Structure 1
Amino acid sequence: MSQPLNTVALVTGAGQGIGAAVARGLAVDGARVVVTDRSAADAESVAAAIGGPAVARALDVTDRDAVLEVVAGIEADVGPIGILVNAAGVLVPGPAVETDDETWDRTFAVNATGVFSVSRAVARCMTPRGAGSIVTIASNSAGVPRTGMAAYGASKAASASFTRSLGLELAPHGIRCNVVAPGSTDTAMLRDLFAGDPDAERRTIAGDLQSFKPGIPLGRIATADDIADAVRFLVSDRARHITMHDLYVDGGATLRG
């Protein structure tokens, strides 16, 4: 049985979706969770629902000065950060040749550079202590091409590669860095993609030859808790010998291609 986490866990993008599920799960496991989100109201709502020692902080991961300030504040006011989960992310679907510069830049600013900025700041705190766990929520589109998701997949591939390289560099300091790669998950982001298309969920599960998707062998869309459970395992002592791993949680949708 896993030991209680008994540490401070910083979760970005925790105002909704996967990030919120991760925050709730880590709190159940005994972590003092710091719920961060660009929306202060969303972060406060999730932290209030968790209760106990959970606290909320507004954080835009694209603001490097804010990242440094928030991390320093957590270290001073809440305690040493032992867990970081990079869950902040954005998705603006569209064909690659129709993607404008602003969309590309924003996608990378949040999904890749944001992961870099927050991970760097937290890793600098963890390194002298010789312990810590960092998990980045990427996507199965980082490893398998998806139509309409060139920018998103590229940004998630960058964040996954960065996290695994970081894990190699931080391993001598006792810090583990892993990636969780979800597939289609029931969140506001997915519901936005499905909006106005009553057949979208069925096609996603069954597969869609026109978009070159093989479907989901397990026959269901993931819940946010499915992804959070993978994160909870990776940051626990049950995964103490796992680092630089990229764990696909997609019901077999990529056929691990």
Structure 2
Amino acid sequence: MELTGIESTVALVTGAARGIGAAVVGTLAGAGARVAAVDRDIEALTTVVSKLEAEGASVRAYRADVCDSEPVDALVRRVEEELGPIGILVNAAGVLHTGRVVELSDQQWNEIFSVNASGVFHVSRAVARRMMLRRGGAIVTVASNAAGVPRTEMSAYAASKAASAQFTRCLGLELADYGIRCNVVSPGSTDTPMLRAMLGEGGDPRQVIEGSPSAYRVGIPLRKLARPQDVAEAVAYLVSDQAGHVTMHDLYVDGGAALHV
């Protein structure tokens, strides 16, 4: 199926320097979008953008920290001045700290929520205000299957992703009258730098695939990790014309790991 409605559309993607965010940038650019790639790590972001530009993609790097609303508002204004009206927003910025609740610090909790929840709010609000005037657009938030399944040592991350997912669905309800669709993609274990860091040096991805009874994890029924591209292609579908009647949906891309209904 060829996806339509992406070509020539301005797409803003946060968390664009690596992992799922970088894959989303590449996928949307490959479909003809003009992409504003946003991250606070400008060095890593420049590497991603330079590679895509060399391949002929229309991508521009923007440094911004989604935790602060004023710079976010300025970013959105600048992107629209330089690239044109934003028709697609993908909230892919995210951070992870693991640890048992009794050991988590205030700083870890606050950082996770600042990026994973407040960041989604800041960027979505700034873009939605402009989309409403044009009565159209598509917003996708990359959450996690941990938002719907309790995980040991992932309480802050899971809670922040649950907040961002439900926020996005509520936003979709408020924006439906304006023809703006808001959806969620919830990946499971995906082969990204974040997962590798969580596994630690010498960590074996097979332990994620097999599951862990002591941690109440059932494993991945499809017997493989997701690729960032798997998630990016789900995002691309949800922002395309082919998903024109889909909104407030939470699409799990986890190989069946959540046993999601």
TM-score (norm: length of structure 2)? 0.96
Q: What amino acid does structure 2 have at the position aligned with 1:218? A: L
CA distances 1:112-170 after superposition (whole Å, capped 9, x unpaired): 00000000000001001011000000000000000010000000000000000000000
Q: What amino acid does structure 1 have at the position aligned with 2:75? A: V
In structure 2, list runs of 5 or more residues that go unmatched. Answer: none
The answer to whether residue 52 in structure 2 is matched with residue 47 in structure 1 is no
Matches within 5 A, 1:119-130: 119-130=124-135
Identify the residue that residue 244 of structure 2 maps to in structure 1. Answer: 240
Query: Per-residue deviation at 1:47?
Result: 1.5
**RMSD of aligned alpha carbons:** 1.0
Identify the residue that residue 32 of structure 1 maps to in structure 2. Answer: 34
Given that 2:135 and 2:179 are in contact with CA atoms closer than 8 Å, whether structure 1 keeps it comes out as yes
Q: What amino acid does structure 2 have at the position aligned with 1:213? A: R
Query: Per-residue deviation at 1:194?
Result: 1.3
In structure 1, list runs of 5 or more residues that go unmatched. Answer: none
Mapped partners of 1:247, 1:116: distance in 2 = 20
Identify the residue that residue 225 of structure 2 maps to in structure 1. Answer: 221
Identify the residue that residue 90 of structure 1 maps to in structure 2. Answer: 95
1:184 to 161, 185, 189: 189
CA distances 1:186-205 after superposition (whole Å, capped 9, x unpaired): 0000000112344x412211
Given that 1:24 and 1:50 are in contact with CA atoms closer than 8 Å, whether structure 2 keeps it comes out as yes
Given that 1:35 and 1:46 are in contact with CA atoms closer than 8 Å, whether structure 2 keeps it comes out as no
Identify the residue that residue 159 of structure 2 maps to in structure 1. Answer: 154
3-state SS in 2 of match to 1:55: strand
Mapped partners of 1:126, 1:46: distance in 2 = 27
Give aligned-pair identity as a percent. 55
1:75 to 51, 63, 80: 80
Query: Per-residue deviation at 1:53?
Result: 2.2
Identify the residue that residue 3 of structure 1 maps to in structure 2. Answer: 4
Mapped partners of 1:126, 1:196: distance in 2 = 44
3-state SS in 2 of match to 1:83: strand
Identify the residue that residue 209 of structure 1 maps to in structure 2. Answer: 213
Aligned positions, number: 256
Query: Per-residue deviation at 1:110?
Result: 0.2
Query: Per-residue deviation at 1:4?
Result: 4.9
Given that 1:4 and 1:30 are in contact with CA atoms closer than 8 Å, whether structure 2 keeps it comes out as no
TM-score (norm: length of structure 1)? 0.98
